[in-house]
Structure 1
Amino acid sequence: MAGITGQGTTFNLPNFVGELFAVTPTDTPFLSMIGGLSGGERANSTLFQWQGYDLRDADENRQRVEGANAPTAESRVRFNQTNVVEIHQEAVEVSYTKQAATGQYNSTGSNHPGSVGISGANPVLDELDWQVQRHLEQIARDVERSFIVGQFQNPSDNNTPRKTRGIMQATATNVSALGTLKGTATIAASNETFTLSAHGMANGTAVTVTNLTGGAVGVLKENELYYVTNTATNTFTLAPKAGGSTIAFSVDGGADVYTATQLTEAILLDLLQDIWTSGGIQVSETATLMCGATAKRRLTKVFITDKGFQEQSRTVGGVRCMTIETDFGTLNLVLNRYMPTAAIQVVSAEECAPTFLDIPGKGFLFQEPLAKVGAADRQQIYGEVGLKYGNEKKHGKLLRVSA
């Protein structure tokens, strides 16, 4: 069932009996891992920063002669990197009657005229606390997604929210953008058809899209895999999974279309080499690959199944991770449902930490009652958090890859 907005009452928040199951996954592996490793850090401003420095290249010809004067003075210049904390704020309101009527159950759903009720108990005896818990879980999921794909936003006024820079946007140096550009397609909302002259793609071809325009914005996402269906010489449609339903558009649009590149051992090792050369993945225990389910299956096949290795795992920051053996050490392999399906993110996790803005007398994530306006209890949950990602050269990402 969908959620509701406004006050929760006996009419829109019905009680049932029996065991209560959570339908939606609540795992947040990236947030949990870096929080477990660092314990989190504090900020005292909405914009927080850290700094770094580099060294000149090693030189085998830098020797000096005997009795020489001191060389020209040299110094290394430090640099800074910044991010912002973003606000997460939710509210819950439950009527007095709803809180009291814990023994009022909804219909059994039976059409039998003699049906009266089902024996059992309502496991939710405090509706307000139960709803607060669900909000906390939802905030954690929101933060996890922001920390991965968040797009930096530090507005000049209060008309626009601050947005923290996610690890994918932060990774700028070690980037391997693969795939083959097929061209710019136009999208007709009337029949969901992409038009691209002589595209040469067969049904089931994995593609990604960029430079979205018109009706494609908000329907398609960059770095996500889509699959060609209903292909003809100059047209095709897309589905979110192989053999799936055609994606619909309400307004005409356009997009650049790339065929995705099948992930291979060599492709990943080339990226790992670039990251290692830049000083990343030096701490084997925290060197981590994050990916979605499609890429995870491919990585398991390439690095474990095809090599005849036995699957191994270890715990990092409280998160249980599968490991794979590479030329650059043993790396953690983390399955993350919020990673774009056509991307793999390499993270030197020891560089990362959630950073919180403490509210005086309240903490960094808290609930508090709101002013009463009637026969109900109202509370809000509030917190400000951002991602510190350290030296971005220690991370890397693969884009436009498929299984």
Structure 2
Amino acid sequence: MADQFATSFGVLNYSGMLFNKGNTRTPLSSIIGSRAKTTNHVEFVTGQEYTAGGDGAQPAISETASLTAPDASVVTRAQKTNVTQIFQESVGISYAKQSNMGTLSGVNIANQTANPVNELDFQVATKVQKVNRDIEYTFINGAYNKATTDSEVNKTRGLVTAITTNTTAMGSKPLGLWDIADMVKKIYGANAPTDGLTLWCDATTLFQINADAVQNGLTVVPAAREINGIALSSVITPIGVVYLYLGECLPKGTALLLNLSVIAPVYQPVPGKGNFFLEPLAKTGAGEKYQLFGQIGLDHGPEWYHGKFTGISQSFTKPAYSRSVFIANDASNPVNTKEVAAGA
């Protein structure tokens, strides 16, 4: 696609407050940001896997047999990896546009000035917002690909793709508390920790969980925990507390039960420049062009530490409230009516 520069008639100047209609929420990136890692290699390690312990068994070794040592055996390890990928955007602005910020379109009122006052700053800020949102989407949905040539694309593996062990297909049914508890049980059965699990879900599912809690006489505790400024609600299951959050970029009908403590972004900085930096490009005329460049991937940790729900109903089912309130000595209550009749 040909370069599109900000020009005087292409990007008009207006006065008034700026309001963004787009979605710039990036809760997952925010909540895992403090655990960021760096790498100088496009492929990085998410961990090693091995199996030891198992279900347990009672040895049957006689004294005579013990005089001969058993045959040696070993436990092998498998390394798991992911890759970083490139995020790159460009902006351009003509000299004429930079020098023409005093010309206003739309409603012109005395003493008003253009907002923004600097077109380049505004265009760069919008690209940063786009990249941040693209990273959030990729961390959730990224389809893995490792390049083998310079012309191939590296793509980092996102959480939806990564989670393969603990999965539940809901078959278009609503997600309820017992479904969450069952997923916690699956994670426990996979020999993974169950402390601090967080359900990452959409608004319909979050509504359904709250309704299910009310119907079962339970309470969803708002703002029960805060991580990096993100407040998480919580609900209690038989195996432990599960935190709840209204996530972003989830595929329809999908929710993730995440162990956030093992998830981290991985940066691949450029020596001498850092990561996600803005730099000017070569001039070809009366304007300036800049590029925003960065490389990042997701360390999702052991995938069996997490759980995945798919096929969740996309419609909210209102709870059928079953609580009854009895008023003492109420003659209209059949129980009290019998008592009154018996005492008459």
Question: What interval of TM-score do these two structures reach, taking the shorter chain for normalisation?
Answer: 0.7 to 0.9
Aligned partner of 1:388 among 299, 308, 319: 299
SS of equivalent residue, structure 1 residue 261: coil
Q: Which residue of 2 aligns with 1:282?
A: 194
Distance 2:188 2:306 in 1: 9
Which residue is equivalent to 2:153? Answer: 161
Q: Which residue of 1 aligns with 2:327?
A: none
The structure in which a higher percent of residues are strand is 1
- Taking the TM superposition and a 5 Å limit, the aligned residue runs for 1:26-105 are 26-36=24-34, 38=35, 40-49=36-45, 50-62=47-59, 68-69=66-67, 70-105=69-104
% of aligned pairs identical?
Answer: 30
Cα offset, 1:28, TM superposition: 0.6
Matches within 5 A, 1:4-403: 6-36=4-34, 38=35, 40-49=36-45, 50-62=47-59, 68-69=66-67, 70-108=69-107, 117=109, 119-179=111-171, 260-284=172-196, 287-303=197-213, 306-309=216-219, 311-313=221-223, 314-402=225-313, 403=316
Cα distance 1:306–1:25, how it changes in 2: closer, same or farther (>3 A)?
farther
Structure 1 position 303, deviation (Å):
2.9
Structure 1 gaps of 5+ residues are: 109-115, 180-259
Quote the Cα distance in structure 2 between the aligned partners of 1:280 and 1:364.
33
Whose helix fraction is larger, Structure 1's or Structure 2's?
2
Q: Which amino acid aligns with 1:139?
A: V
Q: Secondary structure at the match of 1:6?
A: coil
Cα distance in 1 for partners of 2:195, 2:182 equals: 19
Corresponding letter in the other structure for 1:316: I
Count residues in correspondence. Answer: 309
* Counterpart secondary structure, 2:89: strand
Q: Give CA deviations for 1:210-269 in whole Å, capped at 9, x if unaligned.
A: xxxxxxxxxxxxxxxxxxxxxxxxxxxxxxxxxxxxxxxxxxxxxxxxxx1222322222
Q: Distance in 2 between matches of 1:45 and 1:271?
A: 35
Quote the residue 1:186 is aligned against: none
Preserved CA contact (<8 Å) 1:102 1:122 = yes
Offset, 1:71: 3.3
The alpha-carbon distance between structure 1 residues 138 and 397, as it changes in their structure 2 partners (threshold 3 A), is same
- Partners in 1 of 2:149 and 2:259 — Cα distance? 34
Q: 1:88·1:382 contact (CA, 8 Å) conserved in 2?
A: yes
Letter in 1 for 2:27: P
Contact kept in structure 1, 2:195 and 2:241, CA below 8 Å: no
- Return the alpha-carbon distance in structure 1 between the equivalents of residues 239 and 103 of structure 2: 60
CA contact (8 A) 1:43 1:355 kept: yes
- Runs of 5+ unmatched residues, structure 2: 317-344
State the distance in 2 between where 1:168 and 1:310 align. Answer: 25
- Is the 2:83–2:155 contact (alpha carbons within 8 Å) kept by the matching residues of 1? yes
CA RMSD of aligned residues (A): 2.1
- Secondary structure of the residue that 1:283 maps to in structure 2? coil
Q: 1:178 to 1:305 in 2, by over 3 A?
A: closer
AA aligned opposite 1:31:
S
In the TM superposition, what whole-angstrom CA distance separates every residue of 1:129-177 from its partner, at most 9, and x where no partner exists? 2211111111010011011111111233233321111101000101112
Distance 1:118 1:323, change over 3 A: farther
TM-score, structure 2 as length reference: 0.83
Aligned 8 A contact 1:87 1:382 in 2: yes
TM-score normalised by L of structure 1 = 0.72
User: In 2, Cα distance between the equivalents of 1:312 and 1:85?
Assistant: 35
CA contact (8 A) 1:291 1:340 kept: no
Q: Which moved more, 1:309-318 or 1:144-153?
A: 309-318
